[in-house]
């Protein structure tokens, strides 16, 4: 602090402050305190409060998810047992059958695949542009239920039109 006071610019400011009338000095002190309080509020208190609110919301969502999982535990176990036992419908053996199943079922669902390509031995990447979300979701559910195809990765972007999305995802057997 002493080195700061020895700096010529700071000494010049202190001299100017000392030359001000007492009333102006008090006004500057009030402004400095108000500025300090404003900085404390906007740089410390507000971010901490926002972080707390976001954490509480995340906790509530996690608690709701756990409650839902516990409520649907039996159904989840049944689905897992069905999949392990191979009861998910017609199981697909290789990537060619996967590609064939995906393209034909998309056509049956009224969806047009913009692009698709194999991804490894047991997966396929699929791109769709401007498709109805409800049709897409129903199609993906049928793929899982009837053929045992699962979604490995997915990215959905909403379109300019309500209820329509562009989708990129990886499906695997």
* Torsion region of 120: left, alpha or beta (phi above 0 gives left; psi -120 to 50 gives alpha): left
In angstroms, the CA 118 to CA 107 distance is 18
- pTM equals 0.47
- Give buried/exposed letters for 78-112 (b at 16+ CB in 10 A, else e): eeeeeeeeeebeeebeebeebbebbeebbeebebe
Q: Maximum distance among all alpha carbons in the chain? A: 91
Helical segments of the chain, H only: 2-6, 8-19, 22-40, 46-71, 73-84, 95-108, 133-147
The per-residue pLDDT for 81 is 76
Q: Which of 2-6, 26-30, 41-45, 154-158 has the lowest mean pLDDT?
A: 2-6
- Report residue 85's pLDDT band, with 50, 70 and 90 as the boundaries: low
């Amino acid at each position: 602090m002493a080195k700061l006071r020895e700096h010529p610019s700071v000494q010049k400011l202190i001299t100017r402050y000392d030359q001000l009338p007492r009333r102006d000095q008090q006004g500057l002190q009030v402004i400095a305190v108000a500025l300090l309080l404003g900085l404390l509020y906007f740089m410390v208190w507000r971010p901490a409060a926002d972080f707390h609110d976001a954490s509480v919301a995340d906790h509530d969502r996690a608690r709701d998810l756990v409650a839902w999982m516990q409520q649907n535990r039996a159904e989840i176990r049944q689905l897992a047992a069905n999949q392990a036992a191979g009861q998910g419908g017609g199981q697909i053996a290789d990537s060619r059958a996967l590609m064939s199943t995906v393209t034909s079922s998309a056509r049956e669902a009224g969806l047009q695949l913009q692009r698709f390509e194999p991804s490894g031995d047991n997966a396929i990447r699929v791109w769709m542009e401007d498709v109805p979300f409800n049709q897409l979701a129903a199609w993906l559910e049928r793929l899982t239920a009837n053929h045992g195809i699962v979604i490995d990765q997915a990215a959905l972007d909403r379109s300019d039109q309500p209820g329509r999305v562009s989708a990129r995802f990886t499906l695997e057997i």
